[in-house]
Structure 1
Amino acid sequence: MKDNPIIVGLDIGTTKITTVIGEVAPNGTVDIIGEGTVASEGMKRGSVVNLERATHAIRQSVQIAERVSGVRVGSVFVSVAGNHAKAITSHGLAAIRRNQEITQADVDRAIENARAVPLDPNLEILHTLPQEYVVDGQEGIKSPVGMHGVRLEVDVHIVAGTAGPLLNLRRCVQEAGVRVEGFVLQALASGLATLEAAEQAHTVIVIDLGGGTTDVSVFKRGNLAHSACIPIGGEHVTADLSQILKLPTEEAENVKRKYGAAIPELADPDLTLEITTASGSTHAISAFELSRIIKPRLAEIFGMVRDEIDQALGPVELVAQGVVLTGGASLLRGTTELARDRFRLPVRLGRPRGIGGLTDIVSGPAHSAGVGLVLYGIGQDGKVPTSVFQEEAKPTAPTPAAPNTQKGEVATSTAVVTPAPPKKEKAKPKEGASLMDRLRNVFKDWM
């Protein structure tokens, strides 16, 4: 086994728990050498609701990744999502003595002054992420060290989590046999894994569509400038289908993935499904009507994301230059098109990039947060490692199209839902047929 540093990300979601093991080469490039995904238990909207079940699922996920990699996991970076995570942007100031260069100590002093804001004592600070610096009124400075000036200013994005949910999460991880290296905001991790080099110069909205929550992050010139969590995700779409179609949740999820679309016009116009409910009754529904159930819920999620950004930063069209969709629920056909219509901005599907190793396993949107946790662990500064962009620029073999069902996701039965067979058209009598031939055809129909 090589002695290169090993970084492990543990993405604990509402519907799945994923462990990603990354090995960092001396040049900074990352190879994914282990992955383990299991169905999530004991979690709801980013918080632990059953300690024993959550611990068991975490232990299973870690053990699977250990077997794949041959590496013993000692510590992990853990994703944090849910409404208990709060974020504010604070302004810091430091005076510089005349005719002296700005030092790292001056930068640290400005950041520390920004941190000195009154926070609820029940909050634990997770990230202190500096934005761009201002020296004597000159904006847009990435690194002020070595410059001359008398006034150094910085805006710092502070992310904090409620102590209770964090303690519960830490306890589950520790009882699973590993140590928490650090908590990482899931919205930040997803952005680190999916943002491309060209997007580092613009303002981009990253929307991670998860099972129980939708995590939103706004990256301004490569820095996390705003973050929020919407308490609705893909499982709410499944719940709508389950309620309307009278199907068990597992069957409704399977129907959504295989036949659903976020835009009804993209559904198969010739496909009709025969639904057999738990009571034994059978009814038919077209793929078009199925998608008409799905669209309002996804439109609601995007509407809530838009309202959040509009209120915090201003109109979306004026704030950002693009939107990146990621997360397992973003794979539903037509989701990108629906988001493009709602935000009126260029929208693309975000996948982990700039990595090597088990890329065939972790290249889907469902693994963005897990891979992002590994990337965060390299510098722990909330920045995309430069080696990732170097790796991204290398020519790679084309990646096969990802199937609808991601590796590690819970398989669901298809026994109660079947596409209805196409209706047979009645044979039409040929032109010029005799009266006797026509009577024979009518008689066949009667029989």
Structure 2
Amino acid sequence: MKDNPIIVGLDIGTTKITTVIGEVAPNGTVDIIGEGSVPSEGMKRGAVVNLERATHAIRQSVQKAERVSGVRVENVFVSVAGNHAKAITSHGLAAIRRNQEITQADVDRSIENARAVPLDPNLEIIHTLPQEYVVDGQEGIKNPVGMHGVRLEVDVHIVAGTAGPLLNLRRCVQEAGVKVEGFVLHALASGLATLEAAEQAQTVIVIDMGGGTTDVGVFKRGNLAHSACIPLGGEHVTADLAHLLKLPHEEAENVKRKYGAAVPELADPDLTLEITTASGSTHAISAFELSRIIKPRLAEIFGMIRDEIDQALGPAELVAQGVVLTGGASLLRGTSELARDRFRLPVRPGRPRGIGGLTEIVSGPAHSGGVGLVLYGIGQDGKVPLSVFRDQPDTQAVPAKKGEGRPTPPAEAPPAPPVQAPPVAAAPKKEKPEKAGGSLMDRVRGIFKDWL
């Protein structure tokens, strides 16, 4: 662990920038003492598109966390997401002299040999994450130091980012007045924050649903074994609603959060919304039809994730034992049910655990990335610190059962995100207004004919 007990994570997303300040106790436990979240500016799908606006938003987020904690932030671990991050798995080998114990130098040599793979010169290595070691054909070894053998092998998950986007990100952070202590893949950070103790012995798919992107990490026995980024997120669902219902973006977001569902069958069958468009005209739409607009985009996101895993590792239901859903966009009602249907695996919501301090603020899925950055900073080895499992109950996803429509809900629901009241009125549906709703419904059904 580092000498400095203060570790800061800076989670830079498309819709939100969050700074999380953690204090590490002598026994390794982590207390969150500062948090600052502001709307993101100058970012798109994990990359900087406006240096000045991104710098301003980062500075605001850091200053907000500093005011809460009373601590001056100097160094931060920064999340990296987007398609510019590439990942490969490489194999390394080191010969050991006969009758000699394997030393740390031998382990380092095997990892260095795995790193010696041809990479695009425009790529900068972010992580070199060892998986399991093999000694003389014996697999499943976590730490080979002290063992005897003549052949040491290791598979290493190498994560690299395109130099240009990383330089732009580093420049924004530095101009905001802080130093980049390290870049951390967003999928890795989310997994460090949300994986439970029992899942450390399994293969689990962690899906972090953000605003502009969805980050995917496949963790095998606690190690990141595969990662990917899907260029779609919750903002695309909002954009669909804004386009089809002719609403301003902010109002479409509020309608989605308050009345939307990922599965139409979970929508309130007796709820009808009166939608006032930007032009002043009024339409009626049922909550069921609203959810029919939302479902295709989320189904597309899960379908792309499923295709990515199937192509890289094999059928998801055969590779993994469960799915952990996290990120702000995963809060939409019915998202877990839709994911369970697509992956045919047990699905549970993922929230940061094993932390103290401002838990009422950072315990929701939207803070998984920021808290994970702090946990990464404790050891900087890509593994969950053992201290976060102390006095924590082992919880697992409830297996899907035949005829069961919904998974067991979490013990404590996350706090509802603050939303401003949209200019829509919701009332129990007494009699469906055919004139008000008919034309809009016909248009929606026509546009989504191929999807639905």
1:69-101 CA-to-partner distances (Å, cap 9, x unmatched) read 000000100000000000000000000000000
**Contact (CA 8 Å) 2:203, 2:322: kept in 1 or not?**
yes
**Contact (CA 8 Å) 1:272, 1:419: kept in 2 or not?**
no
**Contact (CA 8 Å) 2:11, 2:370: kept in 1 or not?**
yes
Quickly say closer, same or farther: Cα 1:165–1:140, change in 2 above 3 A. Answer: same
- Note the C-alpha offset of 1:442: 43
Quickly say closer, same or farther: Cα 1:271–1:107, change in 2 above 3 A. Answer: same
Quickly say closer, same or farther: Cα 1:52–1:113, change in 2 above 3 A. Answer: same
- Note the C-alpha offset of 1:280: 0.5
1:270-328 CA-to-partner distances (Å, cap 9, x unmatched) read 11110001111000000000000000000000000000000000000110000000000
Cα distance in 1 between the residues matched to 2:118 and 2:7: 34
**Contact (CA 8 Å) 1:203, 1:220: kept in 2 or not?**
yes
1:404-442 CA-to-partner distances (Å, cap 9, x unmatched) read 999999xx99999999999xxx99999999999999999
**Contact (CA 8 Å) 2:8, 2:20: kept in 1 or not?**
yes
Runs of 4+ in structure 1 over 6 Å off: 1-4, 403-409, 412-422, 426-447
Quickly say closer, same or farther: Cα 1:444–1:277, change in 2 above 3 A. Answer: closer
- Note the C-alpha offset of 1:3: 9.3
Cα distance in 2 between the residues matched to 1:441 and 1:117: 51
Cα distance in 2 between the residues matched to 1:13 and 1:57: 11
**Contact (CA 8 Å) 1:81, 1:215: kept in 2 or not?**
yes
Quickly say closer, same or farther: Cα 1:116–1:264, change in 2 above 3 A. Answer: same
- Note the C-alpha offset of 1:9: 0.2
**Contact (CA 8 Å) 1:211, 1:235: kept in 2 or not?**
yes
Cα distance in 2 between the residues matched to 1:120 and 1:48: 21
- The 3-state SS of whatever aligns with 2:345 is coil
Matched residue, 2:409: 413
**Contact (CA 8 Å) 1:29, 1:391: kept in 2 or not?**
no
- The 3-state SS of whatever aligns with 2:87 is strand
**Contact (CA 8 Å) 1:250, 1:413: kept in 2 or not?**
no
What RMSD, in angstroms, separates the aligned Cα atoms of the two structures?
Answer: 10.1
Quickly say closer, same or farther: Cα 1:316–1:389, change in 2 above 3 A. Answer: same
**Contact (CA 8 Å) 1:131, 1:157: kept in 2 or not?**
yes
- Note the C-alpha offset of 1:160: 0.3
Unaligned runs of 5+ in 1: 393-402
Cα distance in 1 between the residues matched to 2:442 and 2:273: 37
- Note the C-alpha offset of 1:391: 4.7
Q: Show the 5 A alignment for 1:287-436.
A: 287-392=287-392
Cα distance in 2 between the residues matched to 1:285 and 1:118: 55
Quickly say closer, same or farther: Cα 1:435–1:68, change in 2 above 3 A. Answer: closer
**Contact (CA 8 Å) 1:251, 1:414: kept in 2 or not?**
no
Quickly say closer, same or farther: Cα 1:107–1:436, change in 2 above 3 A. Answer: closer
When normalised by structure 1's length, the TM-score is 0.87
- Note the C-alpha offset of 1:24: 0.1
- The 3-state SS of whatever aligns with 2:109 is helix
Quickly say closer, same or farther: Cα 1:286–1:105, change in 2 above 3 A. Answer: same
**Contact (CA 8 Å) 1:257, 1:404: kept in 2 or not?**
no
1:323-363 CA-to-partner distances (Å, cap 9, x unmatched) read 00000000000000000000000000000000000000000
**Contact (CA 8 Å) 2:74, 2:179: kept in 1 or not?**
yes
**Contact (CA 8 Å) 1:189, 1:372: kept in 2 or not?**
yes
**Contact (CA 8 Å) 2:284, 2:437: kept in 1 or not?**
no
Quickly say closer, same or farther: Cα 1:433–1:291, change in 2 above 3 A. Answer: closer
**Contact (CA 8 Å) 2:284, 2:436: kept in 1 or not?**
no
Cα distance in 2 between the residues matched to 1:353 and 1:154: 30
- Note the C-alpha offset of 1:4: 6.3
Q: Show the 5 A alignment for 1:51-90.
A: 51-90=51-90
**Contact (CA 8 Å) 1:128, 1:156: kept in 2 or not?**
yes
Quickly say closer, same or farther: Cα 1:15–1:413, change in 2 above 3 A. Answer: farther
Cα distance in 1 between the residues matched to 2:335 and 2:26: 39
Quickly say closer, same or farther: Cα 1:109–1:415, change in 2 above 3 A. Answer: closer
**Contact (CA 8 Å) 2:7, 2:76: kept in 1 or not?**
yes
1:198-225 CA-to-partner distances (Å, cap 9, x unmatched) read 0000000000000000000000000000
Quickly say closer, same or farther: Cα 1:413–1:274, change in 2 above 3 A. Answer: farther
**Contact (CA 8 Å) 2:128, 2:156: kept in 1 or not?**
yes
**Contact (CA 8 Å) 1:275, 1:418: kept in 2 or not?**
no
- Note the C-alpha offset of 1:112: 0.1
Quickly say closer, same or farther: Cα 1:71–1:215, change in 2 above 3 A. Answer: same
Cα distance in 2 between the residues matched to 1:139 and 1:6: 37
- Note the C-alpha offset of 1:39: 0.2
Quickly say closer, same or farther: Cα 1:142–1:182, change in 2 above 3 A. Answer: same
Cα distance in 2 between the residues matched to 1:70 and 1:264: 46
- The 3-state SS of whatever aligns with 1:139 is strand
In our comparison, the structure showing a higher alpha carbon Rg is 1
Cα distance in 2 between the residues matched to 1:14 and 1:348: 24
Cα distance in 1 between the residues matched to 2:72 and 2:206: 33
Residue-pair matches, total: 432
Matched residue, 2:212: 212
**Contact (CA 8 Å) 2:196, 2:394: kept in 1 or not?**
no
- Note the C-alpha offset of 1:379: 0.2
**Contact (CA 8 Å) 1:204, 1:321: kept in 2 or not?**
yes
Say yes or no: does 1:192 pair with 2:187.
no
- The 3-state SS of whatever aligns with 1:148 is coil
Identity %: 90
Cα distance in 1 between the residues matched to 2:101 and 2:45: 48
Structure 1 window deviating more from structure 2 (431-440 vs 277-286): it is: 431-440
